[in-house]
Amino acid sequence: MRVRASHILVPSLNEAITLKAKIDLGESFGELARAHSKCPSAQNSGDLGEFGPGQMVKPFEDATFNTPVGQVSQPVQTQFGYHLIHRTA
């Protein structure tokens, strides 16, 4: 099984919670990714493309595969920081 996802990577849990609240209120995930994400994918609205099992760090992978298509995860911590993951397919 393969998925497609975008993400926003930030250094703090508080920032991730604030951004999640903005998304829940209807702000654009892509625009917030471009403005706030610390990942190079920010320039592509956070798009990571398609990936399968074993290609991402475990907490990120688990959250992605458990998030319904079209939804945004709660903040997920990895060694890189805190992610909000938008599963797009």
pLDDT of the residue at 47: 98
Q: How many domains does the chain have?
A: 1
| Full-model pTM | 0.96
CATH of the domain at 83: 3.10.50.40
Domain that holds residue 28: 3-87
Query: Residue 2: helix, strand or coil by DSSP?
Result: coil
CA–CA distance, 55 with 35 (Å, rounded to integer) = 26
CA–CA distance, 30 with 24 (Å, rounded to integer) = 13
Distances in Å between the alpha carbon of 9 and those of 5, 21, 44? Answer: 13, 15, 13
Q: pLDDT by residue (tens digit) across 35-71?
A: 999 999 999 999 999 999 999 999 999 999 999 999 9
Nearest CA to 33 out of 46, 49, 14 is that of: 46
